[in-house]
A and B are shown apart, each in its own frame.
Chain A
């Protein structure tokens, strides 16, 4: 797996540094030092009162080690981080078709809701009697996720997708243990995210790879061949990382269940099918949901995420702590195994969220926007046979992300979410269709789900790599697509435009890519190998970074630099 595809990791020959300004700045592109270079240890941007003299209680443990932390005044801080921000590309900057990451619009309403003092300024361990609205919100989000996945319960606390995978696979392991079975193998298709095999291995499972067939999907027959009484689970991404719906999924689920194993689904690509098809109806036993992908919580430069896991009835008893229990009248909270739920809120508190008066479509007079009073969720009351697998983390999970995701869901509603998935799939197919004559698709000219996959076959003989092509996109003002993933496709380019792009935006993107593709085919090698030329940095030397790791500022380094 180690870069077998020859992805370049050094930028090539060094071009003489020739800043055309004295400062090194280029108008709005301003060079900015580290806080360790521009700050001072005696400067602070926070005025803090001096405490009156008092007798300290630190024993002999007052800090003697140097701190050496630079400080900045507030205006310096603003300038420093604003300048850094200007070196970043975000969704709000432009089209960000990073496949498998679902870079959709991040509504600012959600940011506002998460910052309401009643959500943002509550402590995880203040008495439950003072936070009924928080527990009600968790219960309500769980209900929406259950409904959207068609599964029995939702483990809310996992902190990101990979953490959700861990939780789901733990539930499977716990279920097998409860059956007094010790199975040692997990089946993972070759195209899976790296987190899947890493998670399975973390739990002590041996990973057995499953190849895809010619059309990019997994053949149920290949699964049957590998199933045995030693197989604990399959981890399947659906739609898969090639952007295709696994058409054998029902047969795969049946075969897996017939062998006494469980079906883990990676929900990274859930955005293609929300409101269209429910994983629970396909036979899935556990699936994590990346709230930062499908439900628009901000990607934030790499988190925080949130990875609730929907579990089937078979796995429901192993729900990790803590969790909510909803009955006809009240919402309870379970924080410890073997202890009764603590009643926290009236059930109506949660349902009031979904039944608020004004409907977006304006037909508030009808019952259109009002959820019928849902029957008590029998599956919620898993407690009789509950064998919780323990705690995934401290406290209650990613509350700030729950608020944002629920604000997204309430805004879209069942109709809007379905439309969003349809638009995401439509946009991806539009891009795929518009580029198919110039770029090569590894699995032929077939419809895709929410992302379009190309390989580098079409670049053969041009001297241009997938990486070069991606870097040239940067110069054209686009964030590149996901490249070199999935690993099974040579020089992969995975384009996920999401539903957030207008047709005009897609048309401009397509036009740019077509011109680039024509230039590549036309032999304009320098345009690609030299790219990016207009970004805050040219290509960076990854080999040097790895061979001579310099992972932090140190005073010694600074002295050395000064001496040079």
Chain B
């Protein structure tokens, strides 16, 4: 086996040194009747070439985003990744290291975590950010738990236009921890009235902008309303590139900002691994979940970084920890930080502008297709259209024509018949004018027949 350096002679010599006659003796504490006698019903090992062949064949059954006109978003986005990002994250010293428990030989990891926390703070316009969560959806669930701890209340209000998977992820944890959620119904036209749900029994209001249907929201009034009754405003985003163009939640009164960072640095990869961003106000620092990297000095007075404030965390505090999270999204954080460093403010602003421009151009083309209605007044790089008939069928027929045209809302909300004719459509910098024209043409054909 190519990954195992021990030879049979080594094994024999080592067993001799230990003072046992065979390997079985090392497993003597395992109940004898439970030890497997032979091999399991699984094939024997394969060469690198053989694995490449079989996995390559399987991969070829899928349609990569980069191979077709591609407009699928709704929480994960196809962006161009600079070649240098993937090269750098595969440096052995990054790829094969672990949580920086020994900071003297992990300053590389710690410094990029510090850079990441700083970048997230700048992007969201918040005071402190942690070293990441698993993804946007689990970050949202952790934010709700944090709001419960801070407010000592156990009821969360969820906006109807929160990504349905985020809503369900929060609901799973809430139902199991005995907390309550009040989820408003979806409002695909964009205008939601949440104020009547917010009273002094509510710990937090969770609202997404740009929302699941693409609408942008000014959060100021909602934040005021929440604060008036002692509740927190949790702002969610699924497209971090939007923060290069639109007002960040931290400038609109949000107390906790969480979101998905996949768009920067990370491949689509069928939904994971991604990177959850989590930022809040300084005054809430001690109730934050997850790891934090902090600046300090070494014995010679030189600047260095360490994991800090770990008395919030499970490995110290055990059942009194703020979260059970341990391993987070280290390498995805690195990819995010490198890509964001490459972009910088100038690059991010231009990238965001180009995304918006491409989405506007696409929307203008699609509304010219007979029967198609655009639901959005405002949007960033994603919007919702209404089509005649079932959106899921339209998407399948578009796929048959080689266009991946978006997400039928029914894929995520199958129980709401009133949403069955809606498609969430995303456009990014990867889309060309030809792609947009191909989409409009295919959609016209699908809707005509």
Contacts and interface: CB of A to CB of B under 8 A. Distances in A.
A57 interface: yes
Interface string A23-63: 01000000010111001111111101111101111111111
A532 interface: yes
Nearest to B56: A116
11 contacts: A71-B345, A81-B341, A87-B93, A93-B96, A121-B66, A121-B267, A124-B270, A303-B332, A369-B43, A394-B271, A412-B45
Given A90-B94, A394-B75, A542-B296, A360 B47 contact: yes
Contacts of B287: none
Contact of B91 (A85, A198, A389): A85
B285 interface: yes
Contact of A304 (B129, B272, B294, B323): B272
Interface in B53-106: 53-67, 70, 72, 74-76, 78, 82, 84, 86, 88-106
A299 B329 CA distance: 9
Contacts of A82: 88, 91
A518 B305 CA distance: 32
Q: Give the 8 A-B residue pairs with the shortest CB-CB distance, closest first.
A: A71-B344, A395-B271, A118-B59, A300-B331, A124-B271, A413-B45, A133-B61, A304-B273
Contact of B58 (A61, A69, A98, A353): A353
Interface stretch (A221-229, A272-280, A454-462, A520-528): A272-280
Given A121-B64, A122-B63, A301 B94 contact: yes
A277 to B, nearest CB: 5
Contacts of A563: none
Interface stretch (A257-265, A308-316, A547-555): A547-555
B136 interface: yes
Contacts of B5: 500-503, 505
B46 A356 contact: yes
Given A113-B59, A121-B268, A499-B4, 15 more contacts: A59-B377, A107-B3, A120-B269, A124-B75, A201-B318, A300-B95, A301-B97, A321-B168, A356-B51, A360-B47, A400-B269, A414-B40, A415-B1, A427-B6, A503-B14
Interface string B357-372: 1111101000000000
Interface in A103-153: 103, 105-107, 109, 111-127, 129-134, 136-137, 144, 147-148
Contacts of B46: 356, 358-360, 369, 410-411, 413
Contacts of B128: 551-552
A374 interface: yes
Contacts of B63: 122, 126, 130-131
B28 interface: yes
A479 B105 contact: yes
Contact of B29 (A93, A244, A409, A540): A244
Among A78, A349, A540, A554, the most chain B Cβ lie within 10 Å of the Cβ of: A540
A545 B2 contact: no
Nearest to A477: B105
Contacts of A502: 5-6, 10
Contacts of B13: 503
Given A34-B118, A120-B267, A109 B51 contact: yes
Nearest to B355: A51
Interface string B1-40: 1111111001101110111100101111111001110011
A77 B178 contact: no
B112 A198 contact: no
Contacts of A81: 88, 91, 112, 334, 338, 341
A80 interface: yes
B268 A69 contact: no
Contacts of A84: 107-108, 111-112
Contacts of B114: 34, 551-553
Interface string B238-251: 00000111111011
B347 A71 contact: yes
A207 B314 CA distance: 13
Given A34-B114, A59-B216, A549 B309 contact: yes
A14 B300 CA distance: 6
A298 interface: yes
Q: Which of B17, B293, B296 has the most CB of A within 10 A?
A: B296
B151 interface: no
A414 B44 contact: yes
A131 to B, nearest CB: 5
Contacts of A425: 23, 26-27
Given A86-B108, A109-B51, A395-B271, A390 B361 contact: no
A400 B335 CA distance: 14
Given A57-B376, A58-B378, A122 B64 contact: yes
A88 B106 contact: yes
A287 interface: no
Contacts of B298: 11, 537-541
B191 interface: no
Nearest to B29: A245
Contacts of A125: 72, 74-76, 407, 411-412
Nearest to A104: B3
Given A303-B273, A411-B46, A198 B321 contact: yes
Interface in B267-326: 267-275, 285, 291-302, 304-306, 308-309, 311, 313-321, 323-326
B108 A87 contact: yes
A352 B57 contact: yes
B347 A281 contact: no
A495 interface: no
Contacts of B323: 198, 202
Q: Which one of A3, A71, A114, A449 has the greatest number of beta carbons of chain B within 10 Å?
A: A71
A538 B104 contact: yes
A414 B43 contact: yes
Interface residues of B, number: 219
B158 interface: no
Contacts of B163: 394
A271 interface: no
B216 A299 contact: no
Contact of B105 (A60, A485, A536, A551): A536
Contact of A71 (B117, B331, B343): B343
Nearest to B279: A552
A502 to B, nearest CB: 4
Nearest to B145: A202
B2 A63 contact: no
A194 B332 CA distance: 24
Contacts of B47: 358, 360
Interface stretch (B169-177, B196-204, B224-232): B169-177
Contacts of B50: 356-360, 410
A390 B171 contact: yes
Contact of B356 (A18, A58, A335, A499): A58
A353 B61 contact: no
A15 interface: yes
A399 B269 contact: yes
Nearest to A34: B115
B354 to A, nearest CB: 5
Contacts of B360: 54-57
A101 B344 CA distance: 35
A195 B332 contact: no
B41 A86 contact: no
B79 to A, nearest CB: 11
B15, B34, B359: most-surrounded residue (chain A CB, <10 A): B34
Contacts of B7: 503
B347 A44 contact: yes
B8 to A, nearest CB: 10
Given A67-B123, A88-B107, A160-B328, A538 B299 contact: yes
A401 interface: yes
Query: Which among A174, A195, A394, A414 has the greatest number of chain B C-beta atoms within 10 A?
Result: A394
B446 to A, nearest CB: 13
B1 A410 contact: no
Contact of B100 (A24, A301, A482): A301
A368 B132 CA distance: 45
